[in-house]
Amino acid sequence: MKKKSVGIKLRLCAMATAIAFTLSACSTTSVTEKNVSAFGPLTLNLQDYEKAYAESSSRNRFDNLILLTRAQIATNNTESAIKSIDELFALAKTDLQKDELSLVHAQLLQKQGQYNDALHVLSSVNYNAMPASDVIYFLKLNQNVNNLLFEKTKDVKYQITAFKSESALLKYATRTQDKQKILDKSLSLLKAIDDTTLSSCLSNVKNDEDRGFYEYAIIDKSENTLLKEQLINSFMEKYPLHPLTLIKQQGITAVDSRTPQEALSARAQPAESAIFNFVDGDQIAVLLPLSGRFAKTIGEPARMGILSALKDRQSKSKVIFYDTNKTNISSIVSTVNGNSTTLVIGPILKPEVNALNQNGLKKPSIVLNAPEGNKPKNQWYFDLGPNYEGAVAASKIYVDGYKNPLVILKNGDNNSQRALQGFASNFAKVNINPVTCGYTSSTSLKTDLSSCPLNSADAVYINADAVDAVQIKGLIPSNIKVYLTDKSYLGVNNSSQEFALKGALLGDMPWVLTDSPLKDSFLKSMPKANSQVQKIFSAAYDSVNFAYSINALSQNRNDVLHGLSGDISLGENGLIESTPIWVELGVLR
């Protein structure tokens, strides 16, 4: 064991100041020439802004006039605001200044009740090229205008746009109170939509985060308190990385005085009942599909992993294998609860994991898939899913200092979409929204990615198979760091594929990246094993060693066990964290 280096979970950066989300405010502070922010909060009275504009230098003249115009609109000085906007038209030279002019122009039109005209002006704004304070202002204004149009016309398209603008503000929120207000407002906007239309939106939405908002809004409309509570619990299990779930699970409320960093870093210690004792010679029950369609790709590699680990340890433990394809889980649980089994390993298929937990297993267990719903306190699990893979990549990229990541993935690939969800959700914790570029097939890859804004990124995460990864790597400028995970690597070191990916950083299982007799034996037995099969083998192997080490790991949460799958430690709620090793491809190992 050794001290743990970098955990899988991103920690939120401490922020010195909070972002204001209102379009106006007032106090009695003064303004200085060097600190003019055109779309910061209004902190002066109208006369102060008039004076600041009159005395401003040419460098700050435009920004001071924006502030003055906003103050005039806020205080209902419409005629003065119109004159100021005319003057802004004459002063605006750059594209940014023209877009900033459009913002105050749209705000004035909204104030005058000309909502369609305001929306038309906002539609011309290139807010992606604006500073953060301008973007926040745009999103809030766009939400207001569209919400007002919905109230006037009852056309649901406006309310959907209002919701999307409001929820997009989450990227810029740092204070817990602001995040809670944005979530509450986003749900309030959706709940104004009738149930039939909201259900239709839910059926057609493709973005997982928006889908979660729609589903939660429907749940939140329920008048049955008990049913609502049950549905919300189910929602949190279904969407573990959704902003609504994260806020609730972290115990963060609008009156929580902790910073997000303090709340997230308050990691719960595992309950004493979660730690079990396992010694050499104890009996192990292993639940796997050893026949049927999943035997070759799931059951057999897991069986090999467990037997290999026991052999390497020269273990005296007795292992009894149960074929989940031939015997139902309830019968297996009844047998295991009644015999001398000390530990259960497996199953791996999610329905079987859920069935295991629903049938009252009393013995400690290590399962090879993330459970859904309630699970026994003494159950631990490996997450071999693509969400975890994407989250690992996000953690590594962030730790390496990159703040403008871009993700490239294959359209229509469910696993890639799940990896993207894990990646994006992890970066959302530090208020970064990665850009995504998709391609349809290997043959259309170059064309599909031709418009991808690669030059605006400082790092790229590729979630593609080994063949496509080589092509994509060739399209990325050499000054941009490329990150890959095991999906993109065949496991053959110093191969032509590896050197075609030279310079990319690969996060993979240590045993795959280092040649060994164990790896040679596995590849001879399963020469066509893809990365998922390799993951199953390594997790099964590591589950045995984890059982022997769990007590030692529980004594110091910073300790790790060097496993085949990575550095293993005790995670939250029974998760067995496994951090991969990162290597630069094209360098001899």
β-strands 567-570, 559-562 pairing: antiparallel
Model pLDDT, residue 104: 93
For residue 309, the model assigns a pLDDT of: 92
Distance CA 43, CA 349 (A): 58
Higher pLDDT residue, 264 or 89?
A: 89
Q: Is the separation of the CB atoms in 502 and 583 below 8 Å?
A: no
Q: How many Cβ atoms sit within 10 Å of the Cβ of residue 255?
A: 8
For residue 28, is pLDDT > 90? no
Structure tokens at 249: 């699970």
Q: By three-state DSSP, how is residue 357 classified?
A: helix
Going by the DSSP 8-state scheme, the letter that residue 385 receives in this structure is S
Over 80: is that where the pLDDT of 222 sits?
no
Instruction: Report whether pLDDT(267) > 70.
Output: no
What letter would DSSP give residue 296? Answer: I
d(CA 288, CA 276): 22
Residues 352 and 286 in one domain: yes
Residue 59 lies in a domain: yes
Do residues 372 and 500 share a domain?
Answer: no
Same domain, 352 and 483: no
Contact 165, 147 (CB under 8 A): no
473: its two tokens: 């790597």
Q: Are residues 360 and 412 part of one domain?
A: no
Residue position matching structure tokens 């009942």: 273
Residue 159 clears pLDDT 90, i.e. is over it: yes
Instruction: Supply the pLDDT for residue 557.
Output: 63
Which CATH number do you get for residue 569? 3.40.50.2300
Highest mean predicted confidence (pLDDT) among 12-16, 142-146, 372-376:
142-146
- Domains identified in the chain, total number: 3
Q: Strand 405-410 to strand 365-367: parallel, antiparallel, or no bridges (unpaired)?
A: unpaired
Per-residue model confidence (pLDDT) at position 298: 92
Query: Is residue 15 in a domain?
Result: no
Confidence of residue 13 (pLDDT cuts 50, 70, 90): very low
Domain assignment present for 470: yes
For residue 25, the tally of other CB atoms under 10 A from its CB is 12
pLDDT band with cut points at 50, 70 and 90 for residue 132: confident
Q: Residue 21: helix, strand or coil by DSSP?
A: coil
Is pLDDT larger for residue 328 or for residue 532? 328
Write down the mean pLDDT value for the chain.
82
pLDDT score, position 254: 31
The residue out of 381, 414, 430 marking a domain boundary is: 381
- Residues 473, 558, single domain; the answer is yes
Q: Indicate whether 343 and 440 sit together in one domain.
A: no
* 395 located within any domain: yes
Q: Which amino acid is at 179?
A: K
Is the predicted pLDDT of residue 115 greater than 90, yes or no? yes
Query: How many helices and strands (H and E) does the chain possess?
Result: 24, 15
Helix (H) or strand (E) holding 179: helix 176-191
342 and 412 in a common domain: no
Structure tokens at 377: 């306190």
Least confident window among 251-265, 358-372, 440-454, 477-491: 251-265
DSSP code at position 223:
S
Residue 343 falls inside a structural domain:
yes
Q: Which two tokens stand for residue 172?
A: 């810029």
Burial class (CB in 10 A: 0-12, 13-18, 19+), 406: buried
Question: Which pairing describes strands 481-485 and 505-508: parallel, antiparallel, or unpaired?
Answer: parallel
Q: What is the per-residue pLDDT for 272?
A: 57
pLDDT of 317 reads: 93
**Which one of 206-220, 269-283, 326-340, 503-517 scores highest in mean pLDDT?**
326-340
Lowest model confidence (mean pLDDT) among 70-79, 365-374, 502-511:
502-511
Are 136 and 116 in contact by the 8 Å Cβ rule? The answer is no
Nearest 5°: the CA angle 541, 546, 549 is 140
Shared domain for 398 and 417, answered yes or no, is: yes
Give me the pLDDT at residue 437, please: 94
Residue 250 included in any domain = no
| Residue 449: pLDDT over 50 | yes
Of 116, 131, 161, the residue that ends a domain is: 161
Whether pTM exceeds 0.75? no
pLDDT band at residue 495 using 50, 70 and 90 as cut-offs = low
How far is the C-alpha of 540 from the C-alpha of 366, rounded, in Å? 9
Q: Quote the tokens at residue 118.
A: 């305001």
State the average pLDDT over residues 414-439: 87
Tokens 């092509």 correspond to what residue? 471
Which range (112-121, 236-245, 551-560) has the least confidence?
551-560
Q: 363: which 2 tokens?
A: 């013995």
Residue 2, in any domain of the structure:
no
Q: What is the mean pLDDT of residues 129-156?
A: 91
Print the domain residue range for 75: 20-161
DSSP 314: T
Paired tokens of 424 = 């994006």
Q: In this predicted structure, which of 132-136, 428-432, 545-549, 581-585 has the lowest mean pLDDT? A: 428-432
The residue from 161, 193, 212 where one domain ends is: 161
| CATH classification of the domain holding 136 | 1.25.40.10
Are the C-beta atoms of residues 256 and 263 closer than 8 Å to each other?
yes
If you write DSSP's letter for every residue of 84-97 in order, what string do you get? HHHHHHHH--SHHH
In this structure, are 420 and 562 located in the same domain?
Answer: yes
Q: What is the CA radius of gyration of the chain?
A: 28
Quick one: pLDDT at residue 249?
Answer: 57
Tell me: do 449 and 482 sit in the same domain.
yes
Nearest Cα neighbor of 100 from 71, 73, 138 is: 138
Using DSSP, state whether 320 is helix, strand or coil: strand
**400 and 289 co-located in one domain:** no
> Could you read off the pLDDT of 496-531 as tens digits, one per residue?
777 788 888 888 877 666 767 777 777 777 767 777
Is residue 184 in a domain?
no
Shared domain check, 498 and 416? yes
Burial class (CB in 10 A: 0-12, 13-18, 19+), 80: middle
Among candidate residues 182, 241, 236, the one with its CA nearest the CA of residue 428: 241
Stretch (H or E) spanning 471: helix 466-475
- Among 17-31, 171-185, 281-295, 361-375, the range scoring the smallest mean pLDDT is 17-31
